[in-house]
Structure 1
Amino acid sequence: MDPGNLSEETIKRLRPPAKGNSITYFAGSTIQGAKAPRGFGVRVTASGARAFILNYRLRGREHRYTIGAWPDWSALKAVREARNLRQRVDRGEDPLKDRAPIPTTKSVSSVIEDFMTRYVRNRERPLRSADQIQSAFDRLVKPRIGRIGAYELRRSHVAEMLDRVEDEAGPVQADRVRAYLRKALSWYAERDDEFNLNAAFVRVGARANPKERARTRVLSDDELRIIWPLLSEAGAFGALLKTLLLTAQRRDEVANMTWAEIGPDGIWTIPAERYKTKRSNHVPLSKAARQVIEAQPKKDRCDYVFPSRTNTAFSGFGKPKARLDKAMQDALQKHGRTVEALPKWTLHDLRRTAKTLMARAGVRPDISERVLGHVIAGVEGTYDRHSYADEKRDALEKLAAMIGRILNPQPTNVEKLGEYRAKVQA
């Protein structure tokens, strides 16, 4: 390293090694008039953590003193401390003997595992979203910052990780990961007086604008005609999305569907413990929905209708959704339309689309609300204990029929029988 080239930006740009750690020495470098003593350097770990160190020899033996982590310690502050330490060494003192023992630290992965075991999957009160939280930690957090020690974790690590999650899975998923990790670290901070939560999370902001998240997106008929054949080629992911639209249920509710939840009468019962309203929801499956579901291959020792490769509930929606978007864009271009003709959409938009299609099919709003599993407010919700099974079945059959008419529109010169009779009678 060129002496004199010491700055915060220089330290930031030091490349982490492939494994272990590496040390870059800055002996003789100056910063704001302060000259770094011999043995002064910056240690960088494979995970990207940086710390200032001082190597020195005393009574024939090499020693290494860790001054502090960057950016908690600025380069100028670390150089000044290193100069004081070097003076003590020159007087024959050993700074390590006077230093309090450094407390052992758990890795971020260890903190997460303890949090999942003791809080998320607590035997007495496990969270309904435990599988979703576990999946987010395993896929998005541990591979990126899991090896970093909890004491060494800094907001720059968290911010960089969330940037990558946002790029791959969108701002909403990044905010979910942020909330999960903050809860885990807050839980750990209550149990370790030495852990500094602010160092890891202060000023790490949310990615999604709440106002922008209040969506009204509904897929158009043309978009449905483009997307449906692509879903038929997308395996379990495509079948899952078809079921989302045909049942008007939420993504994770469909992803966690099991064969045992589907009764011989064709009613899918979503148990209360994994339903958002904490009430079980009974969904009379339409003929079209049953055809999609029954076409899914069954796996040994796996009860999920839409399993992952490891026989768990389907997860990791980001990559297959990105492939689907790309296929939709290609389909648009084949028809001479620009890519910009396809506005961004989310899987939850399918649920909103289903609600809108039921309205077009003549389903009463109160019935479609019950299909969606919403809690009915007021006196009606309190005293009306009718199951509405027949009404919900009729609504979902009308939804399927509406989708069928959209996918296979009649020629413009063909009139519906009811409309023809009305004209004749007139």
Structure 2
Amino acid sequence: MSESKQKSPGRFKASVLKWLGVPISLTDGSFWQSFAGSESSSGESVSVESALQLSAAWACVRLLAETIATLPLNLYQMAADGTRTVAKDHPLYSVLHTQPNAENTAVEFWEVMVASMLLRGNGYARKLRTSTAIIGLELLLPQRMQTPKRLKNGQLQYQYNELDGTTSTLSEDDVLHIRGFSLDGLMGLTPIRYAREVIGNSTAANKASASVFKNGLRPSGALSTDQILQKDKRKEIREDLAEQFGGAMQAGKTMVLEAGMKYQAITMNPEDVQLLQTRSFNIEEICRWFRVPPFMVGHSEKSTSWGTGIEQQTIGFLTFSLRPWLTRIEQAVKRSCLTPAERLTYYAEFSVEGLLRADSAGRSAFYSQMTQNGLMTRDECRVKENLPPMGGNAAVLTVQSALLPIDKLGEQSAASNAQDALKAWLQTENKDES
């Protein structure tokens, strides 16, 4: 067994337990990658489990997965006049928005799907049907899914290793497959495999840092004497000193030397070997792989170029980090969960308004502009603020002129023209009398 396996028995055990009862072949790449990981140039074995032990990788995955999972995913129906309504009567609405299956809420389900795409490049779910309608989505672990095969009729066939040791054959219509970044359109690329050098270097730097602090920032020292020591005596001295003075907990103890021995400490400052800079750079590298700004995972050493206000930074995060993932999910749901006829009028879309909400002053200015220019009603603004609608004129579009209903503008203009004409006539009559 290699040194990396001896150092990480927990990861070895976890990899084995996930595959108990599952038939394994020598060509099963999913098992062997989970079992052994990918070797990096630093000598560290990189797998999904080892990558998540890095705080930067854990923070990036959690940030993206939890943010996307907590955004409401709604199903809309587009009318012929271009207006849209939330399709709450469609059976797919509650599956996407509320509860995909009996075991998971919508947040839990989409959290696992997004995390699977971030770490393994693909997210899978089994469609649960009654007749032709989809009534549920069951999570399928990507590490148990074999590479899909292309059949002669052009469709894809999936082989999934179930938890009970059996293998299920699933058709393309039975699986919701959301791919990450891909080069062939069939399978998403596994980010951990391509980022193994960065992750391996970061793991090695963490171990080196832990070793430095374990030794009390004093990695080694030298004992010198004019005498020639026997092998047994040399071993005895080395073990005795290591037990009593090795490690950070032993720092400060007084060392007693015999036979004219002299101790010379070899000091090392982490700054001298750029250990701290290396760890900081690795955080930025990991964030670059997940396309997350470092300041959003607690790395505030460098300022962001995404704007100075929190609103501008949120818009940048939504545009460059979240939007590609949101669009992948929306289009995959439309392609795989709706019939060709339904795709003409129905579509799924995340509601991102919650991310764009600024402070109270910003929201107040936004609502004022929208209502005064006749773009939103006051009831629509109240709904966005989680307030009950008032009804009546609060549901009517108004403009800034006199805050009149928009369909009364013509009448107001006509009345104003009549009043102006009357004033002009009265002025003319007064001049004639005088």
TM-score range (shorter-chain normalised) is: under 0.3
TM-score (normalizing by structure 1): 0.25
TM-score (normalizing by structure 2): 0.25
Considering fraction of residues, name the structure with more strand. Answer: 2
Kindly name which structure, 1 or 2, has the bigger radius of gyration based on alpha carbons. Answer: 2
User: Which one has more relative contact order, counting CA pairs under 8 Å at least 6 apart?
Assistant: 2
